[in-house]
Amino acid sequence: MTQALTIRGLKKTYPNGFEALKGIDLSVEQGDFFGLLGPNGAGKSTTLNIITSLVRKSSGQVKVFEYDIDEDFSNAKKNLGVVPQEFNFNQFDKVFDVVATQAGFYGIPRNIVVERTEKYLKKLGLWDKRDTNSRMLSGGMKRRLMIARALVHEPKILILDEPTAGVDIELRRSMWEFLREINASGTTIILTTHYLEEAESLCRNLAIIDQGRIVQDSSTKDLLRQLNTETFIFDVEGNVPAAFKIAGFDTERLDEHSFEVRVNSGQHINEAFDRLSEQGIKVTSMRNKANRLEELFVSLVAKNNAEETP
């Protein structure tokens, strides 16, 4: 399988002495939908900014396909499309110009630029706004505009830094669909996100970075298999008794109509249902207390923090 991105021993120390990356290794295969997760300040944006040349690495190697950024950054950049976290286009430019100008920076001839700008503005639902000043767009539209701009030179890798931050649920879901479509057409996608539901839903492979180190790097499925405990909330018909327990399970009464149950790996949830039936309790609904990935993420970061603290 072709490697779209290869990172080896990447380190970054800022001039103030802060060690943002402490030697990370990552590989992303061509066609992958890859998520880079981590708490604030973990090193996610530093990693992406080194790949895209906005931050200079202290040491290590970064390759975009066969192009080492130290030797042929020009060809490496041609393969990258970047959607940053903050709006960074000229807000006084018209929507069409924002996208078309970016294509010009990649040396794309004007006739192709016009064609592609129309194509991506239509795909992102912005064609009707092509003559609007970009500052007049809503937050969600601005985010879509940045995606159109990143795609106009048709990169093989699309990098998105928190693409759905501050976007409403409906728009977020439609952006997920669009990103899945782009990925299905062969574009490798690398994203950072704080929404773990987003990562679980979209990404085939995930890396978790914390304090400048990769603490987990595997497929989403394998990662979720490591989850030792899942917590479910049950809503029931009638009252939950004050001293309510399910034998064999860690149970906690939340209020008179609900309780939570922690299910350890190896336990089966239908055993809990059996116990509930024996007690004559009828379940009306059941849901995860937190996103599964979130539980794992919190435990991995907590573990790393414990190891880092002397």
Partner 1 sequence: MNPQEIWIALSTIVRKEVRRFTRIWVQTLIPPAITMALYFVIFGSLIGSRIGQMGGFDYMSYIVPGLIMMSVITNSYSNVVSSFFSAKFQHQIEELLVSPTPNWVILVGYLIGGMCRGLMVGMVVTALSLFFTKLHIAHLGITLAIILLTSLLFSLGGFINAIFARSFDDISIVPTFVLTPLTYLGGVFYSIQLLPEFWQNVSMANPILYMVNSFRYGILGVSDINVGFAFAMILVFVVALFMFALYLLKHSKGLRT
Query: What's the start-to-end Cα distance of the chain, in Å?
Result: 41
Residue 107 as a binder of partner 1 (CB under 8 A): the answer is yes
Which of 3, 6, 53, 201 touches partner 1 by CB under 8 A?
53
Which of 9, 41, 59, 105 touches partner 1 by CB under 8 A?
105
Q: Could you give the CA distance from residue 147 to residue 16 in angstroms, rounded to a whole number?
A: 33
Q: How many residues bind partner 1 (CB under 8 A)?
A: 32
Separation of CA 255 from chain center: 35
Which of 80, 158, 199, 207 touches partner 1 by CB under 8 A?
80
Residue 195 near residue 279 (C-beta atoms within 8 A)? no
Residue 212 as a binder of partner 1 (CB under 8 A): the answer is no
Report DSSP letters for 58-103, one per residue: SEEEEEETTEETTT-HHHHHHTEEEE-SS--S-TTSBHHHHHHHHH
Q: Could you give the CA distance from residue 219 to residue 222 in angstroms, rounded to a whole number?
A: 5
267 CB contacts (<8 Å, ≥6 apart)?
248, 249
Residue closer to partner 1 (CB basis): 135 or 303:
135
Q: Per-residue x/- marks for partner 1, 140-179, CB under 8 A?
A: ---------x------------------------------
Stretch in the footprint of partner 1 (CB under 8 A) among 25-33, 35-43, 95-103, 119-127 = 95-103
Residue 188 neighbours by CB distance under 10 Å = 26
Residue 13 as a binder of partner 1 (CB under 8 A): the answer is no
Residue closer to partner 1 (CB basis): 142 or 172:
142
Give the footprint of partner 1 on this chain (CB under 8 A): 14-15, 52-56, 73-75, 77-78, 80, 82, 84, 86, 88-92, 97, 101-102, 104-110, 149
